[in-house]
Amino acid sequence: SSNQMWGGRFAAGPDAIMEAINASIGFDKRMATQDIAGSRAHAAMLAAQGIITPSDADAIREGLLTVLSEIEAGTFQFSTALEDIHMNVEARLSEVIGEPAGRLHTARSRNDQVATDFKLWVRDQLDAVEGGLLALMRALLGQAEAGADWVMPGFTHLQTAQPVTWGHHMMAYVEMFARDLSRVRDARKRMNECPLGAAALAGTGFPIDRHMTAEALGFDRPSANSLDAVSDRDFALEFLGLASISAIHLSRMAEELVIWSSAQFRFVTLSDRFSTGSSIMPQKKNPDAAELIRAKIGRIMGANVALMTVMKGLPLAYSKDMQEDKEQVFDAADNWMLALAAMEGMVRDMTANRPVLEAAAASGFSTATDLADWLVRELNLPFRTAHHVTGSLVALAEKKGCDLPDLSLDDMTAVHDGITEAVYDVLGVHNSVASRQSYGGTSPVRVREQIARWKDILG
């Protein structure tokens, strides 16, 4: 038999394969809440504009709440023959309230309906992500506060560069996730225009009030062009784009945790709650959560590329290609949220191994730059000369198998006769970090200022 929603011109129902490729109910049932909210707003508006009667609107709005409670209770029978969430909800509404249900679809189309539902869903998701990012930032802030002045090696090329503070490193991540948060808020604002009432593509001849539905659904305004309203999936692309950038941040941090928790580094100890064991090697404690977070960028960026590829070249207005948008966004959203939560838990639970960090900070000639700077400041050498002199001292220390502070004053003066005992002050890692007080620098003074600033912002 033909489709009860659109089958008027059809003599035969769809082939099973047609039904299988066409149906989206398997995944778009996740938008049930948004679909029902949109329909309730639409029905109220239709009545307010005298397009349907108030009693029909009341029956529709009440009936939709019944349908919602069935979905929430898990008793709702989803039907593949009814294709998607929109027609599943409407068909059930018609069983529950009868004839008035058929008036709900006046002055709208599934094209503006799905755009509205999906936007509402993405918007809700951005709000949830905001919470996840804030929680992670607070966990990082806690770590930064505990070790604002602990020294550790700072790296470039993953080779020892200069000592930095643990607090400074934690706060670097806070800055990264803060940019993610700002992108989330920015995208939410830009997408907050309501497509409902664009109808199929051209608007409608019914005297609808799009400002009323937009306001009822928490949008800032109705979208201004009906063709654009049903064609636009920028909000989904932007969601995937900013999710990808955030997943890159998460993966970089995860990579550092994998390295830092290794037996060779031992910079941090991950909690048992966020580690796993090996079924063969009894000594193992693996950073699986960090590895999986590191990997999430693969599927999130994959979703981003997938939807961009689906959208490219599509003519206006709606094409069924666009039904491929939801699974990508749902999968990316789930995995982004999970990665944020897992990272937050790991950060909250992990222990920084202060003595190990300090010892590592002092090795690898990490204060060579401080020595060169001292030669400039105290002996008035040109920086290039100071760089060369320091390089010779590093080579000497390397030959002797010791660190820079272990060289005797005789060793030093043999390389440059102006060097005095005072040089040893700048070779210590604590003095090194304390000296870097330029704005944004690693000095504990500056780090504590940043921690205070962020505590203020995050409350």
For strands 193-194 and 159-165, give the pairing.
Answer: unpaired
The answer to whether 136 and 343 are in contact (CB under 8 A) is: yes
Kindly report each contact of residues 412-420 with a partner whose C-beta sits within 8 Å and lies 24 or more positions away, as own/partner.
415/389, 416/375, 416/379, 416/389, 418/375, 418/378, 418/379, 419/375, 419/379, 420/378
Active site residue 438: no
List the interface residues with ligand ARG, window 77-96 (CB under 6 A): 84
- Nearer of residues 329 and 346 to ligand ARG, judged by Cβ: 329
- Nearer of residues 202 and 445 to ligand ARG, judged by Cβ: 202
- Judged by CB under 6 A, the residue of 37, 126, 236, 322 near ligand ARG is 322
* 116 part of the interface to ligand ARG, by CB under 6 A: no
- Nearer of residues 226 and 323 to ligand ARG, judged by Cβ: 323
- Kindly state the smallest distance separating residue 265's Cβ from ligand ARG, in Å: 48
- Judged by CB under 6 A, the residue of 28, 112, 344, 370 near ligand ARG is 28
Which residue out of 69, 271, 278, 392 is catalytically annotated? Answer: 278
Q: What is the length of the chain? A: 459
Quote the DSSP letter at residue 94: H
Q: How many whole angstroms separate alpha carbon 147 and alpha carbon 347?
A: 13
- Kindly state the smallest distance separating residue 324's Cβ from ligand ARG, in Å: 8
Stretch of residues binding ligand ARG (CB under 6 A), selected from 9-17, 109-117, 296-304, 449-457:
109-117
- Residues near 157 by Cβ (< 8 Å), separated by ≥ 6? none
Q: How many whole angstroms separate alpha carbon 339 and alpha carbon 332?
A: 10
- Nearer of residues 117 and 370 to ligand ARG, judged by Cβ: 117
Stretch of residues binding ligand ARG (CB under 6 A), selected from 95-103, 148-156, 320-328, 390-398:
320-328
The answer to whether 67 and 95 are in contact (CB under 8 A) is: no
Stretch of residues binding ligand ARG (CB under 6 A), selected from 106-114, 182-190, 213-221, 340-348:
106-114
- Nearer of residues 25 and 259 to ligand ARG, judged by Cβ: 25
The answer to whether 17 and 8 are in contact (CB under 8 A) is: no
Q: How many whole angstroms separate alpha carbon 351 and alpha carbon 162?
A: 22
Q: How many whole angstroms separate alpha carbon 157 and alpha carbon 238?
A: 32
Q: How many whole angstroms separate alpha carbon 255 and alpha carbon 260?
A: 9
- Residues near 14 by Cβ (< 8 Å), separated by ≥ 6? 3, 22
Quote the DSSP letter at residue 265: T
- Residues near 174 by Cβ (< 8 Å), separated by ≥ 6? 137, 140, 141, 144, 450, 454
Stretch of residues binding ligand ARG (CB under 6 A), selected from 260-268, 280-288, 318-326, 421-429:
318-326
- Nearer of residues 32 and 352 to ligand ARG, judged by Cβ: 32
- Nearer of residues 110 and 294 to ligand ARG, judged by Cβ: 110
Stretch of residues binding ligand ARG (CB under 6 A), selected from 38-46, 165-173, 319-327, 436-444:
319-327
- Judged by CB under 6 A, the residue of 40, 42, 108, 110 near ligand ARG is 110
* Count of residues interacting with ligand ARG (CB under 6 A): 10
Q: How many whole angstroms separate alpha carbon 349 and alpha carbon 310?
A: 41
Stretch of residues binding ligand ARG (CB under 6 A), selected from 107-115, 134-142, 183-191, 297-305:
107-115
- Judged by CB under 6 A, the residue of 111, 116, 162, 369 near ligand ARG is 111
- Nearer of residues 83 and 238 to ligand ARG, judged by Cβ: 83
Active site residue 388: no
3-state secondary structure of 74: coil
The b/e string for 118-139 (b: 16+ C-beta within 10 A; e otherwise) is: bbbbbbebbeebeebbbbbbbb
Q: Give the chain's largest Cα–Cα span.
A: 101
- Kindly state the smallest distance separating residue 29's Cβ from ligand ARG, in Å: 11
CA dihedral 231, 236, 238, 241 (to 10 degrees): -130
List the interface residues with ligand ARG, window 243-282 (CB under 6 A): none
- Judged by CB under 6 A, the residue of 32, 37, 71, 114 near ligand ARG is 114
Interface residues with ligand ARG (CB under 6 A) are 24, 28, 84, 110-111, 114, 318, 320, 322-323
Q: Provide the annotated active-site residues.
A: 157, 278
